[in-house]
Amino acid sequence: MAEILLVLTNPYGYEKALHLAFEEAKQTDCLFRVTFIIDPEALDDLMRDLGENGWLGIGSRRTLQISMMEGYRALASDILEEVSRRALSIGITVKTELNEAGIRSYLSGLPSPGPEKIFVSGSHALGPLIETLDCPIEWIPED
């Protein structure tokens, strides 16, 4: 069965991508899947930057990192529940998942053949990375 995949990377900017993916899912009879990506490397980079700038000591850095990861997981779960509710309200069946991987490794690790259409929602910084991947991706920059 054909599949549409929506990959969310930002808990504060995904409306445009969600709308486009819903429209595509309504027009085709296919499996609709939404994955929220939490990139642990991005969180590591943030913690390292805070430590290098003197904001965090090594102990507080690890504690904050654990707390932030738990917070991101909870926020992502809330967003996926909201996506499920909205999909159900317009008659679309959706499968959701939370994935803790880098966006590149996640997309590169999709089975072949993979989804017919992949929407990736994210910041403008993801654009150059997404454009280097060889799969049917529609990158939707979110503000």
Q: Each residue of 27-54: pLDDT tens digit?
A: 887 889 999 999 888 777 777 777 777 7
CB 109 within 8 A of CB 129: no
Is the model more confident about 56 or about 86? 86
- Closest by CA to 7, choosing from 107, 125, 132, is 107
pLDDT given at position 138: 74
Cβ neighbours around 3 below 10 Å, total: 19
Whole-prediction pTM: 0.84
33: its two tokens: 């899947």
Q: Are strands 137-141 and 117-122 parallel, antiparallel or unpaired?
A: parallel
Between CA 143 and CA 123 the distance in angstroms is: 7
Q: For residue 2, what pLDDT band results from cuts at 50, 70 and 90?
A: confident
* Helices assigned H by DSSP within the chain: 15-27, 40-52, 58-89, 103-108, 127-131
